[in-house]
Amino acid sequence: MSPFATESCPLGVCDGSGWILDDDTNTARPCECRASRINRRASRRIGSGIPRRFRGVSFDRKPICDLDPMVLRQVRDFITDLDRNLDRGRGFWFYGDVGTGKTSLAMLISSAAIDAGRSVAIYSVPQLLADIKATYEDGAGSSYLELFRRLSRVDLLHLDDLGAEKRTEWVLEQLYAIVNERWQDQRSIVVTTNLKDRDQLRQQLGERTVSRLSEMCATIPIMGPDLRTPFVDWSERPDDRVGLRAVSGD
């Protein structure tokens, strides 16, 4: 049975199986929807996917709509020509202050790639390293090799919070191996980091990794105040809570 049997064709061409049957010749050919649906399924098997907080991220919603219009123009242009940019291995490296919208921008690009039927792996770097270490516990080298192949071949690799990891020789080699493989294969990367100084980046990530990322990615500074909304504990502000109920109609 086809893995797509329970899905409908997004193009309205095939019967949902990913294949178009020709009764006259008794043959089948792949529908155009097949590759994109395979990529979407591959994306679900690697990385975290789009986290709940970032589902529905768009140019019209905060914090993105409040960011520098020049930055938004570059990201919008990239998404407009998404397939060609991914095919050429182009990406972004967003760096700057905490809470300025770097991750939201990166998630916007990843979300657009998933919607376009491209395979995407989204990782915080500490989680990525934890997943790599977990493959060692399986006692089978094939487990690590399979993860490395997926990280190397996915259409877009999204690495969030690069530089937050503890620096060790092992960490440097893992990051270099992944970045170098994608650099050689011209596969896209989107990176976010709070590290702003290039010497700091070289010290944390290694000269070879920074050099390759610099060639692969447009480097975009995102500076400014922390845009995250502070948490409000309504249990400690009863007057405000009552006012909120009155306004909301509860």
Residue 192 lies in a domain: yes
10 Å Cβ neighbour count for 135? 17
Residue 171 backbone dihedrals phi, psi, to 5 degrees: -60, -45
Confidence of residue 2 (pLDDT cuts 50, 70, 90): very low
Residue 246 lies in a domain: no
Q: What is the dihedral of CA 142, 168, 218, 150, to 10 degrees?
A: 10
At 147-159, the pLDDT tens digits run 999 999 999 999 9
Residue 37 lies in a domain: no
d(C-alpha 212, C-alpha 201), whole Å: 12
Q: Flag whether pLDDT at 201 surpasses 90.
A: no
Whether residue 161 contacts residue 194, with contact meaning beta carbons closer than 8 Å, is answered with: yes
Residue 44 lies in a domain: no
CATH label of the domain that carries residue 107: 3.40.50.300
Residue 92 lies in a domain: yes
Q: Tell me, what's the pLDDT at 26?
A: 64
Residue 233 lies in a domain: no
Confidence of residue 247 (pLDDT cuts 50, 70, 90): very low
Confidence of residue 227 (pLDDT cuts 50, 70, 90): low
Residue 65 lies in a domain: yes
* Helix, coil or strand: residue 96: strand
d(C-alpha 162, C-alpha 198), whole Å: 13
Of the chain, the percentage scoring pLDDT greater than 70 comes to 71
Classify the C-alpha dihedral 24-10-80-46 as positive or negative.
Answer: negative
Q: What is the CA radius of gyration of the chain?
A: 21
At 123-150, the pLDDT tens digits run 999 999 999 988 887 555 568 888 999 9
- The whole-chain average pLDDT of the chain stands at 81
Provide the token pair at 197.
């100084």
The residues near 33 (Cβ < 8 Å, ≥ 6 apart) are 9, 10, 11, 13, 14, 18
* Helix, coil or strand: residue 14: coil
At 26-82, the pLDDT tens digits run 667 777 666 555 555 544 455 568 888 888 899 999 889 989 999 999 999 999 999
Q: How many domains does the chain have?
A: 1
What domain range includes position 158? 49-222
Residue 243 lies in a domain: no
Q: Tell me, what's the pLDDT at 154?
A: 94
Q: What is the pTM of this model?
A: 0.73
* Average pLDDT rounded to a whole number, residues 82-108: 92
